[in-house]
Amino acid sequence: MVKVAVLGASGGIGQPLSLLLKLNECVTELSLYDIVNSPGVAADLGHINTPARVTGYLPADEGLKHALTKAHLVVIPAGVPRKPGMTRDDLFKINAGIVRDLATGIAQHAPNAYVLIISNPVNSTVPIVVEVLKKHGVFDPKKIFGVTTLDVIRASTFSSEISCKDPRDIRVPVVGGHSGPTIVPLLSQISPPQSFTQEQIEKLTHRIQYGGDEVVKAKDGAGSATLSMAQAGARFASSILDATVKGKAGIIEPSYVYLEADNEHCANLKKAVEGLEYFSYNVELGPGGIHKIHGLGEISEHEKKLLAAAIPELKLSIEKGISFINSKL
């Protein structure tokens, strides 16, 4: 029995993400929670002839508790999206409280679940979830993931437009966090190897860092990336299920995760990022969640500068998330 819960399931991301999860044959129960419309989305998806039983919950009648109880995996796309002119950090005011309340529900009703956090600003919402779980004594650093998959997907797509290769065959590690200058593409480590001019590197880097803005601008007030994010979220969820349910080894996904102080696998990475508590890099998944966090490897001078610019901003966003919980709970 594999129950997956989506919190914020009626939204722009929530609906297509729930559709893709309904198509995942590993899922036997899909539990959809939102403050509006979730029973309708559940009824609609429930007619698709795949194994998952679909249920929809609203806040009334302990909906969050029922949505979460026995969940193996919880995906959180709940919260407001950006409009043109806004930064992701501008969403903190509303989304921090939403994510805190949902994390409290997870701590109480699904303390062993794997949790994927999509709600922005990811650089702060992941520390918020972790602090809530810590307060309830149920934090497992191997199970909490900030979803930065879309940055890596964008990096493949945008790079392929220069190299004219199939984007699915291109992998570019993207490290740091998930907002503007904290998004650090390591184009020097592109696979298969490819050389770019400095001008191409700078243009590509900027496009990957501000890919989200491209969509926000094109949607012109109607929100931010939803469909590409749903695909990215479903890919990550599927990788988690492959590793933790099917026992597949060697799966690597990028993710913004907590760097444990005493874990030998993150020691070098933590040193390279000036002791940051959270950082996004390639994470190798195993049967218990995070098996290993890969190091940065060789990076170019240009990438060193990008990293140096990312670290102070990441530090501020992390502290903002941590102090939001510690001053309010």
**Site for ligand LMR, rule CB under 6 A:** 81-82, 88, 120, 150, 212, 215-216, 224-225
Nearer to ligand LMR, 84 or 297 (CB): 84
Residue 48 binds ligand NAD (CB under 6 A): no
Residue number of the CB closest to ligand NAD reads 11
Nearer to ligand NAD, 101 or 242 (CB): 101
User: Which one of ligand NAD, ligand LMR, none is in contact with 14 (Cβ closer than 5 to 8 A by kind)?
Assistant: ligand NAD
Nearer to ligand NAD, 156 or 224 (CB): 224
Quick one: tokens of 189?
């480590």
| Nearest-10 crossing angle of helices 38-45, 14-22 | 30
Q: Are 276 and 184 in contact (CB under 8 A)?
A: no
Residue 250 CA from chain centroid, whole number: 19
Name the minimum Å distance from CB 321 to ligand NAD.
14
Residue number of the CB closest to ligand LMR reads 212
Site for ligand NAD (CB under 6 A): how many residues? 34
Quick one: tokens of 7?
């919190």
Nearest to 107 by CA among 78, 75, 69: 69
- What is the rounded CA–CA span in Å between residue 126 and residue 105? 15
Find out whether the peptide bond into 181 is cis, omega within 30 degrees of 0: no
- What is the rounded CA–CA span in Å between residue 60 and residue 78? 17
- What is the rounded CA–CA span in Å between residue 329 and residue 37? 29
Residue 77 binds ligand NAD (CB under 6 A): yes
11 is in an annotated binding site: yes
Quick one: tokens of 100?
């805190």
Residue 36 binds ligand NAD (CB under 6 A): yes
229 is in an annotated binding site: yes
- φ, ψ for residue 179, nearest 5 deg: -170, 130
Nearer to ligand NAD, 190 or 225 (CB): 225
Q: Is 178 a catalytic residue?
A: yes
- What is the rounded CA–CA span in Å between residue 117 and residue 292? 19
- What is the rounded CA–CA span in Å between residue 296 and residue 170? 18
Name the minimum Å distance from CB 58 to ligand LMR.
26
Q: Where are the beta strands (DSSP E) in 161-319?
A: 174-176, 183-185, 251-258, 278-286, 289-293
Residue 58 binds ligand NAD (CB under 6 A): no
Quick one: tokens of 185?
């593409």
212 is in an annotated binding site: no
User: Could you say which of 72, 109, 136, 178 is catalytic?
Assistant: 178
Among 25, 35, 48, 214, which residue interacts with ligand NAD (rule: CB under 6 A)? 35
Nearest to 66 by CA among 75, 56, 74, 76: 56
Judged by CB under 6 A, the stretch of 116-124, 156-164, 247-255, 271-279 that binds ligand NAD is: 116-124
24 is in an annotated binding site: no
154 is in an annotated binding site: yes
- What is the rounded CA–CA span in Å between residue 29 and residue 63? 15
Binding residues for NAD(+): 8-14, 34, 95, 118-120, 229
Annotated binding site: 8-14, 34, 82, 88, 95, 118-120, 154, 229
Residue ranges for the binding site for substrate?
Answer: 82, 88, 120, 154
Catalytic residues: 178
Residues that bind ligand NAD (CB under 6 A): 7-8, 10-14, 33-36, 77-82, 91, 95, 98, 101-102, 118-120, 122, 147, 150, 178, 223-226, 229
